[in-house]
C-alpha cells in the first residue's frame, strides 16, 4: 500500500488524518517535535506495528527542516502537510505564527522536490483564514475567494497574524508550483472552524486545541450569561470529515491542482449551546438559559459543492459533531 509522510500527527487535525490513513491501509511516517511525542503516538496505535513510524522535526521553520524526513525506504508516494501554528496566545506574530506557517510550507515543497522524486502529490492544510475577507464579504464564499490581508496588517494586528499566516503560506505554495514546476501536484484544503472528538494525546483540557476550546468552555460552565462570546466565524466542519477530505485528496486523481473549501455549513455559539443541551440535558445547569444568537441575518453564504462532487465528502451534522466532541471532553 502507498506510503504517506504526514506532518503534525501530534495535533488535533493531524491525529484524525493519521487515523483515517491507517483505517484505509496506508503506511505512514509522521513528523513530531520530540521523540516523547512520537512514542506516545506509536503506543496508542500498537496494533498497527510497522505501518506507522515517526521522525523528529523540531521546528518546521528551520532551514532544511524536512530534508531528512522526506527520504525513506520504501520511498513516499504522498505528503500531507498539516503542521502549522494555530495558537490562542503568542509573543511574536512573525516568529511564532507567520514564519513557521510560511517557511514550513515552502520548506516541505522544496524538500520533496529535491529529495523525494517518488512523491506524486502534496496536500497542504490551509484554512478559511486564507479565504475570508471580513471587510468585503462576498455573498458566497468558495474556492475563488482570497483573504487580502497584507504583511504589514498581519504583523501589526494580532488578530490578523493567524489569518495572514495561512493566506501567505497557501499563496506561497501555489506560487512555488507555478515557478518550480515540480514532479508532483498540489492540493490545498481550506477548513473553517474545526470541531470534533479529541484523538491526539492530551494531558488535560487546559492544553486543548484552539478551535475546540469554545465547546470546552461552554461544557465547563464558563459562559452562563445569555450574552455569549462572539462567534466570529459562522462556518464549521467536523474534524472526521476534514480528515477524510485530506485522504480523498490523495486518492482522487481529479483533485490535483485544486483548493477545497471543506465546510459543513453555518454555525453560531448559540447553535453549539443548543446542541450541547439537546445531547446532554444533564449539563443544562452549566449553560446559558436563553442564549442570544449573534448569527447575522445577512450572513455570507458558502459553496462546498467541489468538496462533495470531487472528494465525495458527506458532512456530519452539527448535532452529531457536538455530541461526539462533548463525549470526548467529558472523558478528561
Interface contacts to ligand NDP, rule CB under 6 A: 8, 10-14, 33, 37, 57, 59-61, 82-86, 100, 125, 127, 166, 191, 193-194, 209, 211
The CB-nearest residue to ligand NDP is 11
Residue 320 to residue 122: CA distance in whole angstroms: 30
* Residue ranges of E strands in 243-282: 259-260, 265-266
Among 12, 9, 8, 7, CA closest to 199: 12
Return the number of the residue (123 or 287) whose C-beta is nearest ligand NDP: 123
Shortest distance, position 234 Cβ to ligand NDP, whole Å: 13
Shortest distance, position 289 Cβ to ligand NDP, whole Å: 28
Residue 86 to residue 80: CA distance in whole angstroms: 17
Residue 236 to residue 266: CA distance in whole angstroms: 7
Return the number of the residue (100 or 288) whose C-beta is nearest ligand NDP: 100
Shortest distance, position 168 Cβ to ligand NDP, whole Å: 12
Shortest distance, position 284 Cβ to ligand NDP, whole Å: 26
Shortest distance, position 16 Cβ to ligand NDP, whole Å: 8
Residue 169 to residue 185: CA distance in whole angstroms: 16
How many helices (H) and strands (E) the chain has is answered by: 10, 12
Return the number of the residue (92 or 227) whose C-beta is nearest ligand NDP: 92
Location of C-alpha cell 506516545: 40
Shortest distance, position 130 Cβ to ligand NDP, whole Å: 9
Residue 312, sorted as left (phi over 0), alpha (psi -120 to 50) or beta, turns out to be: left
Return the number of the residue (22 or 286) whose C-beta is nearest ligand NDP: 22
Return the number of the residue (118 or 210) whose C-beta is nearest ligand NDP: 210
Residue 125 to residue 173: CA distance in whole angstroms: 11
Residues 6 or more apart whose Cβ sits within 8 Å of residue 98: 154, 155, 161, 164, 165, 168
Return the number of the residue (95 or 289) whose C-beta is nearest ligand NDP: 95
Return the number of the residue (130 or 228) whose C-beta is nearest ligand NDP: 130
Shortest distance, position 61 Cβ to ligand NDP, whole Å: 5
**Terminal-residue alpha carbon distance, the chain:** 36
Residue 65 to residue 140: CA distance in whole angstroms: 38
Shortest distance, position 6 Cβ to ligand NDP, whole Å: 10
Shortest distance, position 282 Cβ to ligand NDP, whole Å: 27
Residues 6 or more apart whose Cβ sits within 8 Å of residue 170: 105, 124, 126, 127, 130, 188, 190, 259
Return the number of the residue (101 or 276) whose C-beta is nearest ligand NDP: 101
Residue 19 to residue 244: CA distance in whole angstroms: 10
Return the number of the residue (1 or 36) whose C-beta is nearest ligand NDP: 36
56 is written with which cell numbers?
523528529
Amino acid at each position: 500500500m502507498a506510503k504517506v509522510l504526514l506532518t503534525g500527527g501530534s495535533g488535533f487535525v493531524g491525529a484524525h488524518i493519521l487515523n483515517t490513513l491507517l483505517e484505509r491501509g496506508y503506511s505512514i511516517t509522521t513528523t513530531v517535535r520530540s521523540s516523547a511525542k512520537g512514542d506516545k503516538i506509536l503506543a496508542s496505535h500498537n496494533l498497527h506495528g510497522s505501518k506507522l513510524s515517526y521522525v523528529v522535526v523540531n521546528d518546521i521553520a528551520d532551514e532544511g527542516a524536512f530534508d531528512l524526513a522526506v527520504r525513506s525506504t520504501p520511498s513516499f508516494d504522498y505528503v500531507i502537510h498539516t503542521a502549522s501554528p494555530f495558537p490562542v496566545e503568542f509573543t511574536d506574530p512573525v516568529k511564532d505564527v507567520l514564519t513557521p506557517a510560511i517557511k514550513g510550507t515552502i520548506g516541505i515543497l522544496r524538500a520533496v522536490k529535491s529529495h523525494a522524486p517518488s512523491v506524486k502529490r502534496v496536500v497542504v492544510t490551509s484554512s478559511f483564514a486564507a479565504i475570508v475577507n471580513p471587510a468585503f464579504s462576498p455573498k458566497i464564499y468558495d474556492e475563488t475567494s482570497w483573504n487580502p490581508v497584507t504583511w504589514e496588517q498581519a504583523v501589526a494586528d494580532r488578530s490578523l497574524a493567524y489569518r495572514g499566516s495561512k493566506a501567505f503560506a497557501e499563496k506561497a505554495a501555489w506560487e512555488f508550483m507555478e515557478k518550480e514546476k515540480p514532479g508532483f501536484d498540489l492540493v490545498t484544503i481550506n477548513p473553517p472552524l474545526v470541531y470534533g472528538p479529541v484523538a491526539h494525546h492530551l494531558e488535560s483540557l487546559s492544553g486543548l486545541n484552539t478551535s475546540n476550546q469554545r465547546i470546552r468552555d461552554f461544557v465547563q460552565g464558563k459562559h452562563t450569561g445569555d450574552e455569549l462570546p462572539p462567534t466570529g466565524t459562522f462556518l464549521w466542519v467536523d474534524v472526521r470529515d476534514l480528515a477524510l477530505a485530506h485522504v480523498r485528496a490523495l486518492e482522487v486523481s481529479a483533485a490535483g491542482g485544486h483548493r477545497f473549501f471543506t465546510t459543513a455549513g453555518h454555525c453560531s455559539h448559540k447553535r453549539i449551546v443548543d446542541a450541547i443541551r439537546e445531547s446532554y440535558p444533564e449539563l443544562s445547569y452549566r449553560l446559558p438559559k436563553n442564549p442570544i444568537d449573534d448569527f447575522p441575518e445577512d450572513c455570507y453564504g458558502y459553496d462546498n459543492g467541489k468538496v462533495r462532487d470531487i472528494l465525495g465528502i458527506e458532512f456530519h451534522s452539527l448535532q452529531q459533531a457536538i455530541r461526539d466532541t462533548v463525549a470526548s471532553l467529558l472523558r478528561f
